[in-house]
Amino acid sequence: MRKTKRVKVLGWRWRRNELRRHSDAVEAWIVLATWAFAMAAGVVAGVAGAQAVALSQARSSAERRPGTAVLLDGAPSRVREVATGMYDDHVKAQVRWTDARGTVRIATTDVQAGTAVGSTVPVWTDGHGRLVGAPVSPAEATARAVVAGTGIALTGGLFVLVGGGLVRLRVERRATDRWGEEWARTGERWGPRTG
């Protein structure tokens, strides 16, 4: 048996021909509008998301203040992680510092491995005097904003594409139902059926 080759004609829904139905043109417009809106919505959502993340990073960095603390415990030398087998140059140890209000505080933070008791270590505090991590570098803040913006853009565009696909599916089903009704009416005019 000979295999039939299927030929795809680009833009057939846009061309005028006797076989094109109104629903074909509607589907073509839905696909075009969906893609255009998905691209625009993705870009707008991505830029807005990236700006929000960048603003949050800048606000977080602005609230952090550098300071020094005194190491209360001796920091052990390099610690080997059981899961990876790699050595870590930073270990947890207790430190004491005085916040901006003059209150003496004690907490646990990351320090360089092998640091002696009584040594001063650099720390970062927030507006309430609590220990926090060091602010991210400008390059890392930019990378985070770009990654977040890209993810938000892709997600926003995907939502629009799914919505457009559902609308197109609904139009296609209605067209198929109408075609079936028309075919049933036309079949009755052909006379009695055989077989």
**Single-letter residue type at 129:** G
3-state secondary structure of 1: coil
Whole-number pLDDT of residue 79: 67
pTM: 0.66
The span from the CA of 182 to the CA of 193, in Å, is 17
Helix (H) or strand (E) run with residue 179 in it: helix 138-189
Q: DSSP code of 103? A: -
CA 26 to chain centre: 32
Under the banding of pLDDT at 50, 70 and 90, the label for residue 181 is: confident
The span from the CA of 170 to the CA of 177, in Å, is 11
What pLDDT digit, counting tens, does each position of 57-91 carry?
Answer: 998 888 888 888 888 877 767 666 667 767 777 77
